[in-house]
A and B are shown apart, each in its own frame.
Chain A
Amino acid sequence: MDKEKGPATHNQKMPIYNKDSDLLVIRDLHTHFFTPDGVLRALDGVDLRLPKGKTLGLVGESGCGKTVLALSILRLIPDPPGRIVKGEILFEGIDLLSLDERAIRDVRGNKISMIFQEPMTSLNPVFTIGSQIAEVVLLHQHKRAATKKQALDVAMDMLKIVGIASPESRINDYPHQLSGGMCQRVMIAMALACRPALMIADEPTTALDVTTQAQILNLMKGLREEIDTSILLVTHDLGVVAQSCHEVAVMYTGNIVESASVEDIFSSPLHPYTRGLLRAIPRIGGLRSGESLQAIAGNVPTLRDIPKGCTFNNRCPEVMDICRGEYPPVFRPKADHMVRCWRSAN
């Protein structure tokens, strides 16, 4: 592993786009927010790859930039104050950042769709769920459904697919008549109505009860295969990741600090932050064996007071001198295992 520093090395280490196997490749993405108090680097050089037909889990604590990354892919960052200042987002071979407003609207909801954390507030309370699903189809896929009636038929099919009992009567319901879990099913139906190549799910189960969460995760798993879509699952819950993802990327203060297959992340985590997170999750199994919970010391730094050097250095139990001076570049101890930590340099 070479130890050269600076942007030149970084560029060489960026993920290479493989047209056949990769659906989405993000290279060196910088999204900054320009506030009166200064520039906040919400994303600071993110590299990410999502293979076709897989689920990628994006894990991190609040404020680490998970949602900003999801919104950046869809170019939904509010401008001003936010702006994507640098980088590439290659989706099916096209750089999404080069598209004009018309072209990106054709991608949103059609090829890339998104579901949000709060199912109850993401649906419009004054329209029936049927018409809300139909709207997506009418807007994007004229060939499939030219009239409102045809679009409603598609909506009906979608409700069936997401496992809503008696869709004939439910299609005319308003969101307030449904439970949280049902609303999330409707959101998924809406997101998948156009059979997108990529579905971004931003904390889709955080607001739900555990039993409902288990149902929704099972549903998403089944649909990924059925509709042949890839999923970018944004979550803070490593349990959810273990149960439903193939690949994992761990985020901290606007950067991906470690990414690997789900087996590698859980069996041989390299970054001290990943290791800390894994030790901090309360587990039913852990309780049985009498382990105690180990917290990561300190707090997640806000974007205003990010430490110099490695941004984790003020909480890291294995901190070295070099960590305080320089941000670690990408190291690849294994072909598919990326980590940004000086400890992995050798």
Chain B
Amino acid sequence: MENLLEIRRLRKSFAIRSGVFRKITGYVNVLDDVDLDVYPNETLGLVGESGCGKTTMAKIILALEKPDAGNVVFDGADIHEAKGQTLAQIRRGIQVIFQDPFGSLNPRKRISSIISEPMIIHKTGSRKQRISRCVELLNMVGLSEDMLTRYPHEFSGGQRQRICIARALAVNPRLLICDEPVSALDVSIQAQVINLLVDLQKELKLSYIFISHDLSVIGYISHRIAVMYRGQIVELADAQDLFDNPMHPYTRCLMAAVPEPVPGLKSKMDRLIPDMDEIESSPCGCTYSGFCPYREAVCMQEKPDLVEKEARHFVACHMHAPLKGAA
């Protein structure tokens, strides 16, 4: 299968500045040697807690941030080397939907100009064609065309997220980065937006990178899921496989922490979730070693590589114990 997007050995760190003169006192590694592929017409879920580097990764893929090292290749062209026409082409091919549908629509613009703005930037079509495309897009996302002349404040959260989706689709992208697109929405609306994204993918043969902190949401839309922890991918597998056989202790911890809507069902979380007393993770060892209940000497000394433990199931852990053996 030809890859649509290839991320190789991506690194990014931010400087910590302190004191009156804002001197650089250290660095945080936000992304640490990340390798990732996105195939055509698939959804790659990216899950992890706040601060694990999900959004930084999205920004780098969108060429909004420059990586320190490594490269991102979209459809054969390196995003961070490209200039002029090629870069414009790439940017057209990758669009984004953000978390907050209230902050990402300009309140002073009508829906028609919000949706046609990407088309104006990328100089597609005449004015008339753009308007008819707007109508087409609105129908596609389940809104009616008489909404074109309205302003964002007249819409609810779910409707706004639909408008954001319509705007992202305006220039026929091939890859859509969805950065926590449903976490600001109510449960009943969440499902609508997820189902819409699934339908649009089938119809338009899109690829998604679906970023979320919630494993249960991501499970419904993703074909493959990558679990991130402190700037590294610790596990990568097909969605079904990941849920059936989570290998990394962090993945298990994340799964156990999701409160199941079944009263009386005692979760295993007490054992898996680390208590407050974290021991210092060793800088040269596994980043999760500070919390890990299965920690052994090797974890403190050596950083585990992401290896293919089973077919299409990658994990970065020295233990890879199956769930039963651990329990």
Chain B contacts of A300 at CB under 8 A? 156, 186, 188-189
Q: Are A293 and B195 in contact, CB atoms less than 8 angstroms apart?
A: yes
Choice from A62, A218, A263 contacting B264 with Cβ under 8 Å: A263
For A62, give the chain B residue with the smallest CB separation.
Answer: B186
Give the contact stretch, choosing among A136-144, A196-204, A225-233, A234-242: A234-242
In the bound complex, what is the Cα–Cα distance between A120 and B9 (angstroms)? 35
Q: Are B194 and A293 in contact, CB atoms less than 8 angstroms apart?
A: yes
In the bound complex, what is the Cα–Cα distance between A62 and B255 (angstroms)? 26
In the bound complex, what is the Cα–Cα distance between A282 and B243 (angstroms)? 14
Contacts A165-B276, A209-B50, A299-B189; A217 near B261 (Cβ below 8 A): no
Choice from B217, B263, B273 contacting A214 with Cβ under 8 Å: B273
Any chain B CB within 8 A of the CB of A164? yes
Q: Are A263 and B263 in contact, CB atoms less than 8 angstroms apart?
A: yes
Any chain B CB within 8 A of the CB of A314? no
Chain A contacts of B217 at CB under 8 A? 282
Q: Are B262 and A242 in contact, CB atoms less than 8 angstroms apart?
A: yes
Any chain A CB within 8 A of the CB of B253? yes
Q: Are B215 and A240 in contact, CB atoms less than 8 angstroms apart?
A: no
Instruction: Report B140 CB to chain A, min CB distance, Å.
Output: 17
Q: Are B186 and A210 in contact, CB atoms less than 8 angstroms apart?
A: no
Chain B contacts of A283 at CB under 8 A? 216, 260-261
Majority SS of interface residues in chain A?
helix
Chain A contacts of B220 at CB under 8 A? 282, 287, 292-293
Any chain A CB within 8 A of the CB of B270? yes
Choice from A217, A266, A295 contacting B189 with Cβ under 8 Å: A295
Residues 204-222 of chain B: 1 if any A CB is under 8 Å from the residue's CB, otherwise 0?
0000000001111101100
Q: Which residues 179-216 of A sit at the B interface, judged by CB distance below 8 A? A: 180, 209-211, 213-215
Q: Are B257 and A278 in contact, CB atoms less than 8 angstroms apart?
A: no
In the bound complex, what is the Cα–Cα distance between A299 and B186 (angstroms)? 10
Any chain B CB within 8 A of the CB of A99? no
In the bound complex, what is the Cα–Cα distance between A214 and B270 (angstroms)? 9
Choice from A244, A266, A277, A285 contacting B187 with Cβ under 8 Å: A277
For B217, give the chain A residue with the smallest CB separation.
Answer: A282
Q: Which residues 278-293 of A sit at the B interface, judged by CB distance below 8 A? A: 278, 280-285, 287-288, 292-293
Any chain A CB within 8 A of the CB of B159? yes
Q: Are A211 and B186 in contact, CB atoms less than 8 angstroms apart?
A: no
Q: Are A299 and B259 in contact, CB atoms less than 8 angstroms apart?
A: no
Choice from B158, B187, B273, B277 contacting A215 with Cβ under 8 Å: B273
Interface size range on A against B: 35 or more
Instruction: Report A178 CB to chain B, min CB distance, Å.
Output: 11
Q: Are A211 and B219 in contact, CB atoms less than 8 angstroms apart?
A: no
Q: Are A284 and B195 in contact, CB atoms less than 8 angstroms apart?
A: no
Any chain B CB within 8 A of the CB of A296? yes
In the bound complex, what is the Cα–Cα distance between A180 and B216 (angstroms)? 22
Q: Are A61 and B186 in contact, CB atoms less than 8 angstroms apart?
A: yes
Any chain B CB within 8 A of the CB of A307? no
In the bound complex, what is the Cα–Cα distance between A61 and B156 (angstroms)? 12
Chain A contacts of B159 at CB under 8 A? 299
Q: Are A214 and B195 in contact, CB atoms less than 8 angstroms apart?
A: no
Q: Are A282 and B219 in contact, CB atoms less than 8 angstroms apart?
A: yes
Q: Which residues 241-298 of B sit at the A interface, judged by CB distance below 8 A? A: 243-244, 253-265, 267, 269-270, 273-277
Instruction: Report B215 CB to chain A, min CB distance, Å.
Output: 6
Residues 90-115 of chain A: 1 if any B CB is under 8 Å from the residue's CB, otherwise 0?
00000000000000000000000000
In the bound complex, what is the Cα–Cα distance between A293 and B221 (angstroms)? 10
In the bound complex, what is the Cα–Cα distance between A280 and B186 (angstroms)? 10
Q: Which residues 39-66 of A sit at the B interface, judged by CB distance below 8 A? A: 61-62
Instruction: Report B291 CB to chain A, min CB distance, Å.
Output: 9
Choice from A215, A238, A278, A295 contacting B192 with Cβ under 8 Å: A295
Instruction: Report A311 CB to chain B, min CB distance, Å.
Output: 14
Q: Are A285 and B260 in contact, CB atoms less than 8 angstroms apart?
A: yes
In the bound complex, what is the Cα–Cα distance between A171 and B253 (angstroms)? 30
In the bound complex, what is the Cα–Cα distance between A61 and B189 (angstroms)? 10
In the bound complex, what is the Cα–Cα distance between A280 and B261 (angstroms)? 11
- Can you offer 16 A-B residue contacts whose CB atoms are under 8 A? A61-B187, A62-B157, A210-B49, A210-B213, A214-B259, A237-B187, A277-B187, A277-B188, A281-B261, A282-B214, A282-B217, A284-B255, A287-B220, A296-B188, A299-B158, A299-B189
Q: A210-B49, A266-B262, A288-B244 are in contact. List 15 more A-B contacts (CB 8 A).
A: A62-B157, A165-B277, A209-B49, A210-B215, A210-B257, A211-B273, A214-B256, A263-B264, A276-B188, A281-B261, A282-B194, A282-B217, A284-B260, A294-B191, A300-B156
